[in-house]
Amino acid sequence: MAHQNDHNFNGSSVVPPREPVVVVMLPFPIQGHFSAVVHLSRLLSARGIPVHFVSTAVTIQQIAQRVQGDGNNLSTSNPIQFHDLGIHSFPSPPPVPNASNKLPVQLASTFEGVVNFHQPLAKLLTSLSSTARRVLVVHDCFMAFALEKASSAANIHNLEVYCFSPFPIFTDLYVSWELLGRPNWPSFDYLKEYSHHLTLDGCLLDGFFEKFMVPQVELSAQMSSGYIYNSCRPLEGKFIDILLSLPPFQEGNATLWCLGPLVGRLQLTADSSPLIAEGGTSQKSSELSLMSRHKCLEWLDTQPQNSVLYVAFGTATTLTEEDINQLARGLESSQHRFIWVFREADRSDVIDANNEIRRIGLPVGFEKRVTEGGMGMIVRDWAPQVEILAHPSTGGYLTHSGWNSVVESLGMGVPMAVWPMHSDHPTNAVLVTEVLKVGVFVQEWANRNDIVSSTVIENAVRKLMDSDEGKEMRKRAEELSVALRKSVLAEEGMSSTEELDLFIKHISR
């Protein structure tokens, strides 16, 4: 029998109070999906909305270790209540570095297993529905099966559902356009400009799209009163307008809420002086860092402005030995300072101490040469990504182009060299390079089966960090950062903060 444990940041059990509305967050339990949802939870909680975050014990521990440790204190006067749904049975095999498709196949069991959330979730929803006028569920687009089963079992009359997309609107529009057979609709004319760069081929495992994604997208459309995106007008204004022109929104059957940027919001202020915490508390960056300042930030303190390339590929990408060797040689040949987060991809259970970690190696002598010479730093543990990107010494980001990473990078005004690996990365990379023009390709998706040589990597790094074109990318990234900060600080019409206020007013009506 699945069990349920309730936690908050004070470590005590909490009985949900009688409230006009409570929000239940139902993220997909992998880092790239739940990270932004944690920060949305924090924003709502700071504004007095009771938030119940439901997931596995592993995910909750992951959040405590990773999200709290990035300088963004999640504690508020109205603590988020974390519910362990008692699901502990996901197998956790190691990543497969030499697979023909770079998708994180080690997480396949998670996709299959989350449907088992429905029984304990139904119990929680039933309990909350008796203490609140309205129970609002914000679910990941990959959690529709579990939610539909849970809501049917619970038979709750006061349930309202919103779908949270972990992808940009540009990517969701393109996928929808492909599913519909690329119809010749005026709304999609803007997408056609980039269609020669775009394809779903190779992004997903054969059969996965039809079996897992499409049915959940269709089910989400049936259940949801609206959609929430980690985006905003400065990033995707044109695509927001396209989405709003489509029937569900035109006919009033769905609402759209663009509440981003969610991660890194604490650092997004009008200048680099005091950081404005959610809820209006002012804190100096040095005070935030006193809790546990990572050694890489101290190294960055000693580097010139915009001189360091940050290299990281997220939590779900596994590089082959050849990839690693070519990347190491390319970085060294570029003669640019860098921080490389050199970690194995996450498994389903990232907390299990018994998991054998693949000892991925670097070329012989590489680490000694670059570290002793002061050129680079290798980070093998969890890195404070937002703080690295926010540091004035960081001038570029070599990334897989996962959406959280893209938003964080642009929030801090850092241009990108993009090397897409799987899932939404290829379309995100087109958004970065072709639409926003704040990045350069390391490898375009059409050439994904080719080995990326050290020379190609070196040239991409030099183009990003040295060239006039790279300087223009940095200028545009910095301009976007200013626009995002204004959006967070509600300094212009329809900012993300105003959207958040309207969302809270809507769900509390």
| CB-based contacts of 290-299 (< 8 A; 24+ apart in sequence) | 291/69, 291/71, 291/73, 292/69, 294/379, 294/383, 294/384, 294/387, 296/339, 296/377, 296/379, 296/383, 296/384, 296/388, 297/384, 297/387, 297/388, 297/391, 299/339, 299/377
Distance of CA 157 to the CA centre of its chain: 32
On whether the CB atoms of residues 315 and 31 are closer than 8 A, the answer is yes
Neighbours of 208 (CB within 10 A): 16
- Give the 3-state secondary structure of residue 439: strand
**CA 450-451-456 angle, 5° bins:** 105
Tokens 């915490």 locate to: 277
What DSSP line would sit under 11-32, residue for residue?
A: S---PPPPEEEEEEEE--SSHH
Q: What dihedral angle (degrees, nearest 10) is formed by the CA atoms of 136, 68, 272, 289?
A: 160
Dist CA 306 CA 328 (whole Å): 21
Q: Which of 70, 84, 140, 323 is catalytic?
A: 140
Give me the amino acid identity at 157.
H
Q: Which of 33, 83, 336, 391 is catalytic?
A: 33
- Token pair, residue 398, equals 């070599």
Alpha helices (H) along 197-263: 208, 214-223, 233-244, 247-250
**Sequence-separated (6 or more) residues with CB below 8 Å from residue 120:** 2, 3, 4, 85, 86, 87
Dist CA 143 CA 41 (whole Å): 17
Tokens 């949270």 locate to: 164
Distance of CA 317 to the CA centre of its chain: 14
Which secondary-structure segment (H or E) carries 485?
A: helix 468-488
Give catalytic status of residue 33 as yes or no.
yes
**Angle (deg, nearest 10), helices 403-411 and 468-488:** 90
Give catalytic status of residue 140 as yes or no.
yes
Distances (CA, A) of 261 to 197, 345, 404, 446, 467: 26, 25, 9, 30, 29
Phi, psi of 462 (to 5 degrees): -65, -40
Any idea how long the chain is?
509
Distances (CA, A) of 143 to 162, 276, 468: 11, 33, 45
Buried b (16+ CB within 10 A) or exposed e, 182-203: eeeeeebeebeebeebbeeebb
The catalytic residue positions are 33, 140
